[in-house]
Amino acid sequence: MTSFHEMNDRFSLQRRDVLRLLGASSLGAAALPLFAQNAKLPKLVTVSGAITEVVYLLGAEAQLVGTDTTSLYPAAARATPKVGYMRQLSAEGLLSLKPDAIIATNESGPAVVLDQVRSAGVKVEIIEADHSWGEVQRKVQAVGRAAAREAQARELQAKLDADWSQVQQRVAAASKGRKPRVLFVLSHSASPQVSGEKTAAHSVIGFAGGVNALGGFQGYRPMTAEAMASAAPDIILTSTQSIEAHGGVDKFWQRPELALTPAFKKRSLITQDALLLLGFGPRMPAAIAELHEKFLVATA
Amino acid sequence: MSQRFSAQAVLGGSALLLVAAFVVGAASGAYAISLPQLWGVLTSLGQGADKSPEHLVFLNIRLPRLVLGVAAGAGLGMAGTLMQGLFRNPLADPGLVGISSGAALAAGVTIILGAWLWPVLPRTLGSWTLVLMAFGGGLSVTLLIYGLSRSEGGTRMALMLLAGIAVNALASAGLGFLSVMATDEQLRSLQFWLLGSLGGARWSAVLLVGAAVLLSCVAARSLAAPLNAIALGEAQAALLGVDVERIKRRAIVVTAVAVGAVTATTGIIGFIGLIAPHWVRMVAGPDHRVVLPASALLGAALVLAADTVARTVMAPAELPLGVLTAFIGAPMFLWMLRHFKGRI
Amino acid sequence: MTAMPRDPMALCCAGVEVRVGAKTLLADASVHLAPGRVTAILGPNGAGKSTLLSVLAGQRAPTRGRVTLDGRPLEDHGMPALALRRALMPQESAVAFDFTAQEIVALGRYPHRRSPGRDEDAIVEEAMGLTDVSALAPRVLNTLSGGEKARAHMARALAQLWHPRPDGATRWLLLDEPTAALDLAHQHSAMRLLRAWAARGVGVVAVLHDLNLARRYADEVVVLGGASGGLMQGATAEVLQPGLIEAVWGTPCQPVTSVDGTVQYLFG
């Protein structure tokens, strides 16, 4: 039987130890979130080239576990596991990558697959693609949220907003004269199509200080000689992929539908990579600036 | 004379193949579920235990897809047998009566013109819009072709074949027209639909399709013996007491419902209706009382096998199912033509 | 022409006309067929023999006139009921798929599927034995010769009528050119088979092209395509006179008497 004093001593010892332990653990507790964050950054799947670009810009590429087939920039994105075409995703395929979040535009589908993924506990962020600067902002915010890098996202957004307003000011300042009539031709598939209102191209042309030579309809229509003649664009805008599909610039100009346009006479053709031009991603301020410069050159 | 196996052997063998395909399909997929994990999911069914990710993936994504595959293959195999018996030709398939082209046209209209024509519909029906439209389209075109083939003497199969060719051509033209008007994205969506897929299978749709196919198979059972008699020719069958007109009507309705329901949910899955009955006939002979059930079983096994390959070979992406069935089916079809050189 | 006694169990047609568009296949045909006899329908090509047979079978509805069986119109009986007691062996038949001869003969039992006997398999076997196609049972029908196919179809018709009807209704065996594709030996054995069945009370009606077979084996004949475009029915010996034969077939005809006393004809 130990004496009361001995027992007391033992307890005090234990109390001291406990206090020391508590002290250490509170420090440790403060350090814990840092460790936890590094070990447990959310894993992402991005469905849309522009969204993938944002991920790389936020430095979160280590969190990227899968991208779709339109995610081609930067080059490293091409090496990530591909979940297929954005409109034909596979639920099991997405889940097999064990993502914490999927960020996609509202053009992705099928809707059922996204529902299935949601009900498996994965966060699905859908960004409305309305072809406005807001779309780009939403993409940055969404990636920031999903990647748990909201601070970096706010920084990036601020920078992009600044770039954007700079470009917009330049465009506004330069638009004293007549705005060039620009027509966008899409030609990745068999028949070339031209874009009317409510398309990405329409917004891009407007942002860059031009005016869409085609109006009165929404979406895409096949290119016809009469439509082209009556539209009378000063500049033809197309993607580099479309030119490749035609087999070169000369072959492109040989298209009979273009022969009656003012653009044809001056060989006014501007090409840009499709993702850069229409992706509504973080490179958009630079893309619009470049486009604007080319407009000025063409109308000089 | 080719070797023939007994009815029990063929039916048993087909059922076994189906079970094997189901088990392999259940164990395969982009999402890695090991066999012990799978066993764990199956044994914990019904208990409200914690839902592990494997549990959710298997029950909500993989299993409905497997069941849909069984229903699709069974419906297509059965319908293919019915059509071949009705047309008295081993090259017939359900597409002849316009179900696939009608469904495709309706799908095209929905994808490309839907928002413009009926803005209300997608909002009220949501993702069911395409399914219901495709089903309606398939049935409508079948009805049209059936109506065109009727004369005073009853339904003439030769007329049905010609009407089918003409209406199918019209539907293709319609689709072509729609493709010109479509945007790139719409075109891609339509293209994927046309290639068929079991992806996005959810229990509500799967159970509906399953019910439709089950009912059709039950209704088709009574057609087996009469179809044997019809092989003698419609005139002889009538003399044997077969109500040929009624058999035709029932066969077409059953085909339209089964294939319509399947196509509306999965898009167009080709070749199963052509190949399954042929393979069964090769080993069992042409008695429809064996060919009908065995084609359903074999068709289901084929679809499951093709789908398993489709969703694993390019994981995490997926190949459209129609691409795989065409890969298997087209060479098979060519082989059939060679084999039957003198006798079609 | 001796008047045939009116039989209440007869298969009759009265004033039957079959017209397709502008073409008349059969005009004003009236026959009265009694069971227990072999009746041959004769006539040159295009006279309407097959048409008459298909009308009698209920396969084809006449544009005018009516057909009665046991005193009731054919439509009243209904096709499923008729199939239990009336079989038609077709002139030619394109069979789809690779059914074996045995399976084809077994299809003759289709009308009886609701109340199968215990000897269904035996019936098929015996029927095939009667027409000498037993050895061909496992062979695919479409690979057989014309004569072999014909014998298989005949076995099918026999299988369909195998047992007498429980209600005593007469059975009718209608055959369209059953001997056309058969070799000599099988022609005669087939006709003897038909006579045997007629002796058992079955009404046998066969379209024949061979007048000598008809003369030897038929109890009565129906001759189509006479000078008046009409129809003659009567006992074989009475109707098949050289004068009529020459008038209807346009071929000189010389009767000879064979060793067993049967009259046969030499043509040419």
Q: What are the pLDDT digits (tens) for A236-284?
A: 999 998 888 888 888 888 888 888 888 888 888 999 998 899 999 999 9
Structural domain harbouring B240: 7-339
- Confirm if C111 and C86 have CB atoms less than 8 A apart: no
Going through A240-286 in order, the beta strands assigned E by DSSP cover 269-272
A285 falls within a domain = yes
Same-domain pairing of A151 and A248: no
CA-angle at B133, arms to B130 and B139, nearest 5°: 140
A256 falls within a domain = yes
Three-state secondary structure call for residue A123 = strand
Q: Which residue has the higher pLDDT, B31 or C176?
A: C176
Per CB distance under 8 Å, which residues of B are interface residues toward C? 1-2, 88-90, 225, 228-229, 231-233, 235-236, 238-243, 281, 285-287, 343
Same-domain pairing of A116 and A226: no
Same-domain pairing of A53 and A139: yes
**What's the mean pLDDT in C34-51?**
93
CATH code at B202? 1.10.3470.10
Per-residue pLDDT tens for A282-298? Answer: 999 999 999 999 988 88
B2 falls within a domain = no
Per-residue pLDDT tens for C248-259? Answer: 999 999 999 999
Distances (CA, A) of B64 to A200, B97, B138, B300, C175: 38, 29, 24, 14, 57
Q: Is chain B touching chain A, with at least 3 CB–CB pairs below 8 Å?
A: yes
Interface chains of chain B (3 or more CB pairs under 8 Å) = A, C
Q: Is chain C touching chain A, with at least 3 CB–CB pairs below 8 Å?
A: no
- Cβ of C97 within 8 Å of Cβ of B286? The answer is yes
Residue A14: pLDDT over 60 = no
B344 falls within a domain = no
Same-domain pairing of A138 and A202: no
Q: What is the pLDDT of residue A190?
A: 58
Interface check for A94 against chain B (CB to CB < 8 A): the answer is yes
The residue among A104, A128, A162 that closes a domain is A162
B233 falls within a domain = yes
B1 falls within a domain = no
Q: What is the Cα–Cα distance from C25 to C231, expressed in whole angstroms? A: 13
Considering chain C, tell me which residue range(s) the CATH 3.40.50.300 domain(s) occupy. 1-85+170-268
The residue among A162, A197, A226 that closes a domain is A162
Instruction: State the burial class of residue B53 (Cβ atoms within 10 Å of its Cβ: 0-12, 13-18, 19+).
Output: middle
CATH code at A100? 3.40.50.1980
Distances (CA, A) of A250 to A246, A258, A269: 9, 12, 11
Same-domain pairing of A197 and A271: yes
Residues of chain B with C-beta less than 8 angstroms from the C-beta of A220: 182-184
Q: What is the Cα–Cα distance from B131 to A111, expressed in whole angstroms? A: 13
Nearest CA in chain C to B87: C96
- In chain A, how many domains are there? 2
Q: What is the pLDDT of residue B45?
A: 72
A223 falls within a domain = yes
Residue A31: pLDDT over 50 = no
- The owner of tokens 């470049």 is A290
- Confirm if C155 and C126 have CB atoms less than 8 A apart: no
Question: Is C1-85+170-268 a CATH 3.40.50.300 domain?
Answer: yes
Residues of chain B with C-beta less than 8 angstroms from the C-beta of C83: 239-241
A167 falls within a domain = no
Q: What is the Cα–Cα distance from B223 to A109, expressed in whole angstroms? A: 41
- Cβ of B239 within 8 Å of Cβ of C79? The answer is yes
Q: CB neighbours of C137 closer than 8 A, spacing ≥ 6?
A: C100, C101, C102, C105, C128
Kindly report the pTM of this predicted structure. 0.85
- In chain B, how many domains are there? 1
B57 falls within a domain = yes
A32 falls within a domain = no
Q: How many CB pairs under 8 A join A and B?
A: 104
Q: What is the pLDDT of residue A54?
A: 93
Residue A37: pLDDT over 70 = no
Nearest to C139 among B1, B238, B242 (CB): B1
Distances (CA, A) of A300 to A178, A213, A238, C12: 11, 18, 20, 102
A9 falls within a domain = no
Interface check for B283 against chain A (CB to CB < 8 A): the answer is no
Same-domain pairing of A236 and A202: yes
Residues of chain A with C-beta less than 8 angstroms from the C-beta of B32: 96
Same-domain pairing of A133 and A219: no
Per-residue pLDDT tens for A165-218? Answer: 999 999 988 877 788 899 998 876 657 888 888 889 999 999 999 999 988 887
Highest average pLDDT, of A87-91, A96-100, B123-127, B288-292, comes from: B288-292
Mean pLDDT of all residues belonging to chain C: 92
- Confirm if B172 and B141 have CB atoms less than 8 A apart: no
Helices of type H across B182-243: 184-195, 203-221, 224-230, 234-239
State how far residue A263 is from chain B, nearest Cα, in angstroms.
24
Q: Which residues of chain B have pLDDT under 70?
A: 1-3, 46-51, 118-126, 340-344
Best residue of B3, B232, B287, B290 to probe chain C, by most C CBs closer than 10 Å: B232
- Cβ of A116 within 8 Å of Cβ of B183? The answer is no
B94 falls within a domain = yes
Structural domain harbouring A78: 44-162
> What is the 8-class DSSP label of residue B113?
I
State how far residue B105 is from chain C, nearest Cα, in angstroms.
33
Same-domain pairing of A144 and A247: no
Q: What does residue C195 show for φ and ψ, rounded to 5 degrees?
A: -65, -40
B144 falls within a domain = yes
- Cβ of A95 within 8 Å of Cβ of B30? The answer is yes
